Structure 1
Amino acid sequence: MSLEARGVEVWRGRGRALGPVSLNLVPGEVLAVVGPNGAGKSTLLSAFSGELPCTVGEVLMDGRPLLKWPPRERALRLGVLPQESSLGFGFTVLEVALLGRSPHATRGEGSADMDAAQAALEVMDIRHLSSRPYTSLSGGERQRVQLARVLAQLWEAPEHGHRYLLLDEPTSSLDLSHQHLVLEEATHFARDGGSVLAVLHDLNLAARYAHRIAVLADGKLVELGSPAQVLRPELIASTFGLQVRLVEYPDSPAPFIIPSGRAPHHP
């Protein structure tokens, strides 16, 4: 059982934005997707979520083509946090979290929905903001509310199959403490049998929290493996145009990456 991209290509006009890429997301893991700007990271996530149709290839969830799943059943298994979530209405923080319960039979009106929404807000350290208007929050607070909404959506494991959480730059608006909070929750979600794909820019965060890292460049998958296998100075230099040195720490799954300057001749 997995969320799997098989030979996926996404074309925009006459140009190929992604692919071909074959990649699977398995239960119990956090998979980080990294790469320079324009590498195709968000395009890959959108293909995995079904938001972008695949020009070539297909995405399967638990062995079944993703687009063949009824929308409600798919939403009980697959949750997506996009880069930006616009909401102009005067919902409270709790009401936004309850929106995540809409795929469930009670549609946000049962006690189980309230429990899940409040627990998700607690996990994201924003339950004390429950009655605040969403529009009055800072960017980082809004980011955590939106993640609480997605967590509330996937709070219970489905009777059959697995849960998949797709996060597009989930730490981009957050302070240092809450960056770690979000990724710690991602690892908890995976430890409970879920699967997480997270698009990240910070290689050190990817090294610390991901079980595997996929490196994209020019729309192609150039490396896939554990943090220790993938985050090599020569790969970082050729892909990101940055010279680095690696520092080993005891009990760390991967070395710490310290930039030392731009790589020569990198555009």
Structure 2
Amino acid sequence: MSLSAREVDVLRGRQRILSQVSLEVRPGELLAVVGPNGAGKSTLLGALAGELRCTAGEILFEGLPLSRWKPLARARQLGVLPQDSTLSFGFTALEVVLLGRTPHGSERGGKEDTRIALAALEATGTQHLASRTYPTLSGGERQRVQLARVLAQLWEAPSNGHRYLLLDEPTSSLDLSHQHLVLELAARFAQQGGAVLAILHDLNLAARYAHRVAVLAEGHVVALGAPAQVLQPDLIERVFGIHVKVLEHTGSPVPLIVPWGRAPQAAPEAVPGKG
């Protein structure tokens, strides 16, 4: 069982954003998706979440086409943290997190839902914000409250199936400590049998926390595998246009990527998988 894209194309207008993309988000692992701006990362997440229509190929969720799942049933197992979550109402942080309990059909604000929401706030280090109104929070605080909402949505493991957590740049508004907090939570979610896809810009965070890394360039998956296999200097230079050194930590399989200056812009044909 998994959440998988099979030879997926996505068009926006006449522009092909994704082309023949295939990958799996597997229970028990964290898959990091990296790539330059405009590579198609958020489009891929939108297709996997069922928010964007595929013009070719298909998305399978737990063995069935995603389109065949009823929205509530899907929401009990699949949660999405978008890049931006706009909410101008004067909800408290606790009320925002309680929205994550809606797919479970219980009365919002019931005792069990409140317990789960408070636990999710505690997990994300935002329990002290529970009574604060959401619009008064900083960008980083909002992002962690929204993560708590998605965790509350997926709090219980289903009796038949798995939980899937899709994160679109979850560390973008966070300081260094909270970046690691969020990815530690994601890694723990995977350890507990959940499946995580996280779009990341920081290659070192991807190397530190991901079981596998998928590299997107110009709408193609150009590399997919373990971080130490994928995050090699030649590929990083071709895809990101920057020279790097990849160092080994003593006694650790996690590579350390050190930027070394911009490289000349690669010609399109130099990007593996192009075409």
* TM-score (ref. length: structure 2): 0.95
Which structure 2 residues correspond to residues 9-28 of structure 1 after superposition, within 5 A?
9-28=9-28
Aligned-residue identity in percent: 67
2:154, 2:251 → 1: CA distance? 32
1:89 — aligned with what? 89
Q: Secondary structure at the match of 1:74?
A: helix
- In the alignment, structure 1 segments of 5+ residues that lack a partner are none
1:206 — aligned with what? 206
1:261 — aligned with what? 261
1:9, 1:210 → 2: CA distance? 25
Pair 1:230 & 2:234 matched? no
Cα deviation, residue 116, structure 1: 1.0
2:43, 2:246 → 1: CA distance? 30
2:250, 2:112 → 1: CA distance? 43
2:67, 2:207 → 1: CA distance? 32
1:176, 1:136 → 2: CA distance? 22
Letter in 2 for 1:248: E
1:259, 1:10 → 2: CA distance? 32
1:159-185 superposed Cα distances (whole Å, 9 cap, x missing partner) = 111000000000000000000000000
1:265, 1:152 → 2: CA distance? 44
RMSD across aligned positions (CA): 1.0
Letter in 1 for 2:132: R
CA contact (8 A) 1:227 1:253 kept: no
1:184-225 superposed Cα distances (whole Å, 9 cap, x missing partner) = 000000000000000000000000000000000000000000
Cα deviation, residue 107, structure 1: 4.0
1:194 — aligned with what? 194
Pair 1:127 & 2:127 matched? yes
- In the alignment, structure 2 segments of 5+ residues that lack a partner are 268-275
1:145 — aligned with what? 145
* TM-score (ref. length: structure 1): 0.98
CA contact (8 A) 1:7 1:20 kept: yes
Which structure 2 residues correspond to residues 1-267 of structure 1 after superposition, within 5 A?
1-266=1-266
Letter in 2 for 1:128: H
CA contact (8 A) 1:208 1:253 kept: no
1:97-122 superposed Cα distances (whole Å, 9 cap, x missing partner) = 00000001204232221111011100
Cα deviation, residue 253, structure 1: 2.9
Cα deviation, residue 145, structure 1: 0.4
Q: 1:107 to 1:3 in 2, by over 3 A?
A: farther
1:232, 1:172 → 2: CA distance? 24
2:23, 2:127 → 1: CA distance? 36
CA contact (8 A) 1:116 1:152 kept: yes
Cα deviation, residue 15, structure 1: 1.8
Q: 1:115 to 1:253 in 2, by over 3 A?
A: farther
